[in-house]
Chains A and B, each alone.
Chain A
Amino acid sequence: MAKARTFQDLILTLQNYWAAQGCLILQPYDDQMGAGTFHPATTLRALGPRPWNAAFVQPSRRPSDGRYGENPNRLQHYYQYQVILKPAPENVQELYLGSIRAIGLDPNLHDIRFVEDDWESPTLGAAGLGWEVWCDGMEITQFTYFQQVGGIECDPVCAEITYGLERLAMYVQDVEFVYDLKFNDQFRYGEVFHQNEQEFSAYNFERADTEILFRHFQDAEKQCRELLTGPASGGEQNKKALPLPAYDQCIKASHAFNLLDARGVISVTERAAYIGRVRALAQACCEAWLQTPMGEYRPRFADKDAG
């Protein structure tokens, strides 16, 4: 049980561990998003009856968390490692603890606890019950049993395990400043990302063009709706809904909103309205997803028999 010495070791260890548990090892989604939960492999695949087991790294962007590279552990761009298991296996807590052992944390040497923390994403219309997992008083993982996504009840219920990779690595490597993390044996995390944090903090808080962003939000919202229902006017009837491209637009709208929020141009009252608009998109995408072959579960052979 050697400790994962570097940041990339940590990722590789988790990849190997969850691959061995039968998970698909997916790649990050190529859109900017606030958390791994936004990855369609989580949001959409959590719905419907098809079994699904996947794990992936997801770069996560939280524009308002930018600190110009000066805060010891707050970043506007960081990595989440996400595991999604549907249906939730009965021994899912044990499986999770296996991953903790794999990265070199011995539960008989540390104080590992499951502390109540229910999770909710107002923008995704998603909610679940679970815990934050503590290691010696440090929150290292969010563990959630999804109950609802896109306003739709999950059945079967899936388990979502989200590791904050930098935080976990800081713990394992015994480092107090995120930029001091060993990315590998040659590079520090700061060499890879410190300049990013400086530049993107300036972009998020000062330079992002809010007019363009407002337009992006509206465009994405419009395109999303069109992809789900067909063009509002003059379009052909009976166009097929395209929930996957539509959901991309929902992700884009959400990120545009996060940037506008960081720029401080959205008032408290408007805020709730914008969140509601993104949620409506997410909900519509989820509903459309359930009408597609991968969302809806049809036992293929049984269908033939019935026909």
Chain B
Amino acid sequence: MPDLLLELFSEEIPARMQAGAARDLERLMVGALTDRGYLFEGIKAFAGPRRLTLAIAGLPAKQSDVREELKGPKTDAPQAALDGFLKKTGLSKDQLKVEKTAKGDVYMAVVERKGRETPHVLAEIIPEAMAKLPWPKSMRWKPGLAVRWVRPLHSILCTFDGELVPFSFAGVSSGTHTRGHRFLSEGKIEAKRFDDYAQKLKAAHVVLEAEERAAIIFEGIKQAAFVHGLEMIPDEGLLAEVCGLAEWPVVYVGTIQNEFMDVPAEILQTSMRTHQKYFSLRDPKTGKMANRFALVANMIAKDGGKEIVAGNERVLRARLSDAKFFWDEDRKHSLGSRVEKLKGIVFHAKLGTQFERVERIEKLAGEIAGKIGADMEKSKRAARLAKADLTTGVVGEFPELQGVMGRYYALHDKEDAAVADAVRDHYKPVGPSDAAPADKVSIAVALADKLDALTSFFAAGEKPTGSGDPFALRRAALGIIRILLENKVRYPLKLESDLLSFFADRLKVAIKEKGVRHDLIDAVFSLGNEDDLVRLVARVEALQGFLKSDDGANLLAGYKRAANILKAEEKKDGKTFISEVSEKLLTEQAEKSLFAALTKARAAITAALAKEDFVAAMQQMASLRVPVDSFFEDVKVNADDRSVRENRLSLLASLRATLHQVADFSRIEG
């Protein structure tokens, strides 16, 4: 079956938009073809600096025929309605059928549409798809035309089964030609089938596929680094970006001047990455950053890259001079002396300045330190210094180095090492792959920083919404959860109820991966008296273990039965039964046994919970299974005697209350 080849050739497409554009083009074309009844064997889209390409394999040469029945106006409708219908269907009145319906006689038209030749369909749907392609940002460039593309479009190559598909978009008529690399090829290239196209482009120094360009760059850097006894510091984001900046990527290695090598590696790396898009290299033995960098050019230069490398080294020197200047200047003032300057930085319009924030965090960090056994003075000191690096030149230039720079400056000021580490680590964990801080001082400051953000923003009414979380509060809550659980830190959160339920939701996400059931978290959380996450998770895990056992499953079934009976009877009586059981009114053996078992278990569970021995608490619950089962087997709850009935219901209420010491069983599923 025939194939389609489509290439949209333009001026340089922003790297960050290329992959999305390829996906959108594919999606729009699949949609348009499917709507028109097409099936095909395969589709693939490609994107690069100057072109979007789409290849569809096995597309039928003709659309399938369509037979459609259209319902028209009633036979007694005005002439105008009939005329409109005839016009719409392209039929004459004698070609219509009349059909009887509940509402009367209605004209029916049977329209048979012959499947059209595919090239005609393509000529129609491709310009439509192009017009719909949602570029994040696009422009007009043709005088008098509102049509937009990401940058001026120069040519369209479109063939079906090796033949031109003629159409036009933005005044550009489709053809069978394209161009190769801007500098490494000359003239037009004719291509009518995908294989030929890809091959000719490669000969004209264009690698069509982004993945292939990425592989070339990755291998190129690996080998170039190896020659110098080095390895690349992996950077997937940068790799994806540079793939979009070269049609024919060539890796060159340059040298960083020695005078910059005592500037912290993070500064060098960030400067090279953000300004110059260079890859940093390191010594595989020591892990230390090396005085070499890898750059990806779009050119195999005729001098082997000498000029290119020299030019890039020169640009880098200017960049690093700037960075070094900031680094040298910043160290002329201590971090401590910078805290005052935070008065001039607004944190958030409703929440005051960074200085006010630091004051709050300092106080809170001291309190937390006291409760978790961290050094209180060091924690307070670290909190005081935590944000001071926001006033430094390096962080002004590279905001992503906040914290990292603070640690360097703190060490330079001869602050305690734990304080310096906490200045850096209090932002952690910044994402799922980032480690949570483990040192107690860092933990105290990190918790204080995040708790302050959460309570302040919640109090200011700036809660995250379904679609937006501009202050990264979800991340802050998840961070707190990870810090507490990973370090088994016992710290009661003491939160307002809306914030506590926000935490409950985050907690479900956080421990879902560990296979913990979210309904069990709900069941424990809804007791409402638990704000120590470590204890909460221990309880949930013990509960989950118990419910997996035979005893647990049966007890849960017994609980559900008891709860259902209670619910029905409480509704009937219009009152809630509490656990006040009269021993005198117990007549049957089974209810006596249950009462005895409950009395014993209740006290034992209370004691076990007090000791936080959740496994023991579960064992006590297990002891209830047999008496509960026999109770339901032998005892009729709705006894004829009113007081006996109420006493039995109270006994069930006692069972409910006993189990609710551990968790709200009504929230447990299954």
A interface residues (Cβ-Cβ under 8 A, vs B) = 49, 72-73, 87-88, 90, 93, 107-116, 118, 128-129, 131, 135-138, 145, 147, 155-157, 171, 174, 176
25 sampled A-B residue pairs with Cβ under 8 A = A49-B143, A87-B143, A107-B182, A108-B183, A108-B301, A109-B302, A109-B307, A110-B299, A111-B298, A111-B308, A111-B311, A115-B12, A115-B15, A116-B15, A131-B12, A135-B311, A136-B307, A136-B314, A136-B315, A157-B139, A171-B314, A174-B314, A176-B314, A176-B317, A176-B318
Q: Assuming the A-B contacts A136-B307, A157-B143, are A114 and B318 also in contact, with contact meaning beta carbons closer than 8 angstroms in the complex?
A: no
Contact residues of B between 118 and 167, Cβ < 8 Å to A: 137-141, 143-144, 151-152, 154
9 additional A-B residue pairs with CB within 8 Å, beyond A93-B11, A113-B298, A118-B137: A111-B301, A111-B311, A116-B14, A129-B139, A137-B311, A138-B311, A145-B141, A147-B140, A156-B144
Contact residues of B between 266 and 297, Cβ < 8 Å to A: 276-278, 295, 297
B513 at the interface (CB under 8 A from A): no
Nearest neighbor of B141 in chain A, beta-carbon distance = A157
CB distance from A59 to the nearest CB of B (A): 23
Distance in angstroms between the alpha carbons of A44 and B266 in the assembled complex: 46
* A156 & B143 in contact (Cβ 8 Å cutoff): yes
Residues of B with C-beta under 8 A to A109:
301-303, 307-308
CB distance from A159 to the nearest CB of B (A): 9
Contact residues of B between 6 and 34, Cβ < 8 Å to A: 11-12, 14-16
Q: Assuming the A-B contacts A90-B152, A129-B151, are A113 and B307 also in contact, with contact meaning beta carbons closer than 8 angstroms in the complex?
A: no
Q: Assuming the A-B contacts A136-B315, A138-B315, are A108 and B143 also in contact, with contact meaning beta carbons closer than 8 angstroms in the complex?
A: no
Residues of A with C-beta under 8 A to B318:
72-73, 176
B321 at the interface (CB under 8 A from A): yes
B312 at the interface (CB under 8 A from A): yes
- Total A-B pairs, Cβ < 8 A: 98
Residues of A with C-beta under 8 A to B139:
128-129, 145, 147, 157
* B143 & A110 in contact (Cβ 8 Å cutoff): no
The size of the chain B interface, using a CB distance under 8 A, is: 41
B interface residues (Cβ-Cβ under 8 A, vs A) = 11-12, 14-16, 137-141, 143-144, 151-152, 154, 182-184, 245-246, 276-278, 295, 297-299, 301-303, 307-308, 310-312, 314-318, 321
CB distance from B15 to the nearest CB of A (A): 7
Partner of A110, one of B15, B141, B301, B314: B301
Q: Assuming the A-B contacts A118-B137, A135-B311, A145-B152, are A107 and B143 also in contact, with contact meaning beta carbons closer than 8 angstroms in the complex?
A: no
CB distance from B343 to the nearest CB of A (A): 14
Nearest neighbor of B184 in chain A, beta-carbon distance = A108
* A113 & B140 in contact (Cβ 8 Å cutoff): no
4 smallest beta-carbon distances between A and B, as pairs: A136-B311, A116-B14, A156-B143, A114-B12
Distance in angstroms between the alpha carbons of A73 and B325 in the assembled complex: 13
Residues of B with C-beta under 8 A to A73:
318
* B307 & A110 in contact (Cβ 8 Å cutoff): yes
Residues of A with C-beta under 8 A to B298:
111-113
Residues of A with C-beta under 8 A to B141:
88, 145, 157
* B302 & A108 in contact (Cβ 8 Å cutoff): yes
Residues of B with C-beta under 8 A to A108:
183-184, 299, 301-302
Residues of B with C-beta under 8 A to A136:
307-308, 310-312, 314-315
Residues of B with C-beta under 8 A to A116:
12, 14-16
Residues of A with C-beta under 8 A to B152:
88, 90, 145
CB distance from A174 to the nearest CB of B (A): 8
Distance in angstroms between the alpha carbons of A113 and B295 in the assembled complex: 13
Of B140, B276, B295, most A-chain CB atoms within 10 Å: B140
Distance in angstroms between the alpha carbons of A129 and B143 in the assembled complex: 16
